[in-house]
Structure 1
Amino acid sequence: MRLFVAVLPPVEAVEHLEEFLEPRREHGDFRWSPPDQAHVTLAFLPDVAEHLLDELGERLATAASRRRPLVARIAGGGAFPDVARGRLLHAGLDLGGEAGDDEELDRTATGARHAAVAAGTEVDGARFRPHVTLARLRRPADLTRWVRVLDTYAGPSWPLDELALVASYLGEGPRRRARHEVLATFPLGGREGRRAQSRPRP
């Protein structure tokens, strides 16, 4: 199974971002990400055997219980691999709470990755850089203007108080839009071993 561990912004935060982006969107080479799939990836697990799911869930629940909730908002933006030759446009994640919140989110991502490895599955991806993917480009382009626009944006704050384990099913056809399904959620700062609550994701 193709899975990832993520932070899922609430519907209100995603809708606020969409209201900001909609009048500014250009067609061109942009392939915009569906709003209902907005997320911040903490750990990408490209190929998880189904028999590992129970242990993975238990280890993620334990890892989440060791971290504290945060307050976050979607704000600012950037591009990967860089602004001058961007292939991916993204919004940023701002943690405006207590001192050390950025480090706490880094530790949360590290804990999720360690939990996956301990459960016996592979973790893919480079250094954790919190972001919400907005659009991808077929060819590299200078995204300076778009990043400047995004730098004027700051969405509403929301409690970052749980992690989600999400399955990603690749679609068919030329667009190959993935379908996401939330398998379970894990509260931050909760009691160790608390059972995850599954919930649907549109």
Structure 2
Amino acid sequence: MFVAAVVPPEAVEHLDQFLAPRREAAAFRWSDPGQWHLTLAFAADVPDRSLDDLDDRLTRAAAKRHAFTLRVAGGGAFPHPDRARVLFARLDADQVATTELDRLATGARAALAKAGAQVDGQRFRPHLTLGRLGHPDNVTSWVRLLDDYDGPEWCVDEVALVASYLGEGARRRPRHEVVATYALGRD
């Protein structure tokens, strides 16, 4: 399961149209645009007995945060463009939105941990995963291409708890199912 800010259809469509004529130029395993999201917290396993507690904790965590705006602008790669395993789109936010995003991720991670889930311990780095590589490769040209991309803004006013079912989606990819959504509560 994971907690995420879901990218709205207009922003997905805009980025998808930018990438569509370019996808055949690389042998990436491209992510399904319908599943683009900003992961705030991830736990490989959440015990069923913890779901009610997790729901309460995520409700409270979201209620403490302000809505904010984001947009996709730029690109990057993990671990590095010279030896990339993942190509991603960067998210652009002002200082207030960056602070809210960081605090929202911290609250989501704490909610999962306090509900009994083992949370992925990696540092939060906001991004949208666009594609994965089978072996490390240089994707500098793709990062430069994405650095010219400037997508539309959208308001993040809720987060979602999403269940991920590995191998059950199209082409044996994960199938994602929104379990619940949580409104950000502060104006």
**Residue 190 (structure 1) shift:** 5.5
Q: 2:52 aligns with which of 54, 59, 71?
A: 54
Which AA in structure 1 matches 2:20?
E
Gaps of 5+ in 2: none
Alignment of 1:158-169 (within 5 A): 158-169=154-165
Distance 1:13 1:65 in 2: 25
Query: What is the TM-score with the length of structure 2 in the denominator?
Result: 0.95
RMSD (CA atoms): 1.6
Give the aligned partner of residue 43 of structure 1: 41
Q: How many residues align?
A: 186
State the Cα deviation string for residues 74-124 of structure 1 (Å, max 9, x = none).
Answer: 11110001111000000011114xx43212211110010011111111101
Aligned partners of 1:168 and 1:178 also within 8 Å: yes
% identical equivalent positions: 59
Determine the structure 2 residue equivalent to 1:105: 101
2:93 matched residue in structure 1: 95
Residue 74 of structure 1 is matched in structure 2 by 72
2:114 equivalent in structure 1: 118
SS in 2 for 1:75: strand
Deviation readout 1:25-77 (Å, 9 max, x if unpaired): 13543100001100010000101111111110110010000011001111111
Task: Please report the TM-score for the alignment, with normalisation by the length of structure 1.
Answer: 0.88
- The code of the aligned residue for 2:133 comes to L
Equivalent position of 1:31 in the other structure = 29
What CA distance in whole angstroms lies between the structure 1 residues aligned with 2:37 and 2:74? Answer: 15
* Mapped pair 1:129 → 2:125: yes
Name the CA distance, whole Å, in 2 between partners of 1:112 and 1:73.
Answer: 21
How far apart are the structure 1 equivalents of 2:135 and 2:125? 22
Q: C-alpha distance in 2, partners of 1:90/1:141? A: 14
Assess if the C-alpha contact under 8 Å between 1:43 and 1:125 holds in 2: no
| CA distance, structure 1, for counterparts of residue 156 and residue 93 of structure 2 | 9
When structure 1 is superposed on structure 2, of 13-22 and 25-34 the one drifting more is 25-34
**Which stretch shifts more, 19-28 or 121-130?**
19-28
User: Which deviates the most, 33-42 or 117-126?
Assistant: 117-126
Query: Which residue number in structure 2 is paired with residue 22 of structure 1?
Result: 20
2:151 paired residue among 126, 138, 155: 155
One-letter amino acid of the structure 1 residue matched with residue 111 of structure 2: A
Q: Distance in 2 between matches of 1:155 and 1:132?
A: 13
